[in-house]
Amino acid sequence: MNEPAQNKSTVSATGGGRGNLADLPSTGTGGKKITRRQFLARGAAALIGAGLLTGGYSWKGEPSWLEINNLTLEWKELPASFSGLKLVHFSDVHLGFNKDAGDVKRLIRHIREAEPDLICFSGDIVDSYPEDLEDSVPLFAGLTAPMGKFAVLGNHDYKHAEQLVGLLEAAGFKVLRNGHVLIRRGDESIAVAGMEDYLINSPGPDPKAAMGGIPPGTFTVLLMHEPDYADFVQEYSIQLQLSGHSHGGQIRIPFMGAPFVPDGSVKYISGLYTVGNQRMKLYVNRGFGETYMPFRFMCRPELTVFTLRRMEG
């Protein structure tokens, strides 16, 4: 990820020479100069005001400002009958921390508007406790997609994994735990595979179990919570990996990027990547919710809408 170089600027005192803060002219009437104490007090007030505005925005503003990203991706391997497929990807809802069923209603409205053929969720439906999902189960259950709704667990989901799997299934999701499903259209098919979380030692991801039995040459979408795991599946024929976990850093500093990203998303943080000799596409969703801090800055929550097309010629 390339970041622009930081621009440096200098302020010169009026009247030539080096000058000092007390020499800066007042912007008020009468041409009076302000004292050093007045200048520092006004500067401090400006910084505090900017901090309050930024804090309010990053707490109450940006976490609710959902960005919908539309991407069209092409592959020669995609069967012709699936060309034009619309796939909606969301991740990291973290219910119970800074999001609740009211926020889910808003998310679902945008998913419905996309009219997806296929819905994929890449983990961390709750921040800690399964009961935080209960009010949202009927909302998710109302989502329909003709090719199905698929999910994997994220690292935050394993405290009560079996309960969460039951709730996700009640909401209509097929939870993929080192497994896959073949989706058929006529004589053609694609596969959606999903693995256990990379940061959880037991049971842990098992690519052989997840992708074993997929017919050779089948176009495959992999759901894996941590994006950096893309480097470990290069021996398999996977065309698209969908991940989350990073939150895009959640806080991004101008000219610096994300000062903190969690283990498992250090290399791949946000957006679209091409990975390995097989040129697998990896997309890292910034997530819908927040964790640890109820803030986002320069890193809006995201819903991704893919249109998958067959590359001709």
Listed by start position, the domains of the chain span 48-310
Average pLDDT of the chain?
Answer: 86
How many CB atoms are closer than 10 A to CB 57?
15
According to the model, what pLDDT value does residue 201 have? 85
57-93: per-residue pLDDT in tens? 665 668 888 999 999 999 999 999 999 999 999 999 9
- pLDDT at position 255, please? 87
Cα separation of 241 and 70, whole Å? 16
pLDDT at residue 27 above 70?
A: no
Residue 185: is its pLDDT beyond 60?
A: yes
**Average pLDDT of the segment spanning 262-284:** 96
Class for domain 48-310, per CATH?
A: alpha beta
User: What six digits make up the tokens of 85?
Assistant: 């497929």
Reduced 3-state DSSP string for the chain: CCCCCCCCCCCCCCCCCCCCHHHCECCCHHHCECCHHHHHHHHHHHHHHHHHHHHHHHHHHHHHCCEEEEEEEEECCCCHHHCCEEEEEECCCCECCCECHHHHHHHHHHHHHHCCCEEEECCCCECCCCHHHHCCHHHHHCCCCCCCEEECCCHHHHHHHHHHHHHHHHCCCEECCCEEEEEEECCEEEEEEECCCCCCCCCCCCHHHHHCCCCCCCEEEEECCCHHHHHHCCCCCCCEEEECCCHHHCECECCCECCCCCCCCCCCCCEEEEECCCCEEEEECCCCCCCCCCCCECCCCEEEEEEEEECCC
Name residue 150's beta-bridge partners.
120, 174
Q: What is the pLDDT of residue 36?
A: 57
pLDDT number for residue 159: 94
Give the pLDDT of residue 35.
62
Q: What pTM does this model have?
A: 0.82
